[in-house]
Each structure stands twice: as structure tokens, then as C-alpha cells.
Amino acid sequence: MKKLIVLAAIVTVMIGAAVAQIMNPVKWEITLKKVSEGVYDVVCKATIEKGWHLYDTKLPEGGPLPTTFNVDEEESSNIELVGEFKATTEPLTEQNEAFGMELKYFENTATFVQRIKVTKDTGKIVGYVEFMACSGGQCIPPAEEEFEFDLKK
């Protein structure tokens, strides 16, 4: 019985340590802004912890994961994307030694926008922003921030 209690305590400590090490250096606020009748901007604002980089939407192959806007086509209805998902914040550029290439990234905050159009009287958009952040030699695994909006023309 004593061995079982010791084993349970060790497992509990290990699980606690693993959970404590999950890093989330980027916080997202995703909102909807009406531009005109039936036209909206999905505004994705990232707040980035000090010392971390969030990568731009366009990066060379073989580097970190770019920030992307993804629509769940099965859950979304009566919408179409207008133009590309793009940053409205100017990215910084560096020659990154870890990836061996020039990369565009953001520090502190970054805002991205995807314009959408409602094609019928009502619509729905369900999706997520996928991103990767790095600090020095460590990167978080690719992560997602989900969103869902009901729309009217």
C-alpha cells in the first residue's frame, strides 16, 4: 500500500510539472468588424509576451510555421474570402541563425485581417488562426486560436 501511495505521488508531481511547462506566449483577441453591407473584417489581434516572436503570414519554405487563417468549410456557410489574410502591423526582419534564413516576425503586438463577404442573407464563419512563436532557441509547437461568428447581410 505504501508503494502505491508513493507511486501516485510521483505521478501527480510529474503531471503537474508537465502542465506547468506548457507555454502560451501569444494571447489572441479575434473580433468582427462590419465594413459595409454584407462585408466584414475578421480582426485577429495578438499580444506577444516579451522576448517572443510571432511569425508573419509569408515565410520561406523550411522555416517556422507562418501565421495562417483557416476556415472550417463544413461548419461555415454563405461566405467567401475577399483577398488574403494579411498583417496590418509592419513586421520586423532578421537573419535567423536557427533557421538559416531571413524571417519576418512581430514583437509585443500584431494585428491581422481577413475580409469576408456574406453571399446570402445570413452566413456563418468558423475557423482558427494557426501560429508559431519562438524565443531564442526555443519554439512552441504550432498552436491554434478558434473563432466563430454569425453574420447578416
We report the CATH number of the domain holding residue 41 as 2.60.40.1250
Residues 6 or more apart in contact with residue 48 via CB below 8 angstroms: 25, 26, 54, 106, 107, 108, 109, 110, 133
Residue 51, H or E segment: none
- Phi then psi for residue 20, to 5 deg, are -65, -25
CA distance 147 to 114: 13
> Kind and range of the H or E element at 6?
helix 2-20
Domain that holds residue 141: 24-152
In a domain, 79, yes or no: yes
pLDDT tens, N- to C-terminus, the chain (153 residues):
444 343 333 433 333 333 335 789 999 999 999 999 999 999 999 999 999 999 999 999 988 999 999 999 999 999 999 999 999 999 999 998 888 899 999 999 999 999 999 999 999 999 999 999 999 878 999 999 999 999 998
- Name the pTM for this structure: 0.83
Question: Which position has the grid cell 452566413?
Answer: 123
Number of domains present in the structure of the chain? 1
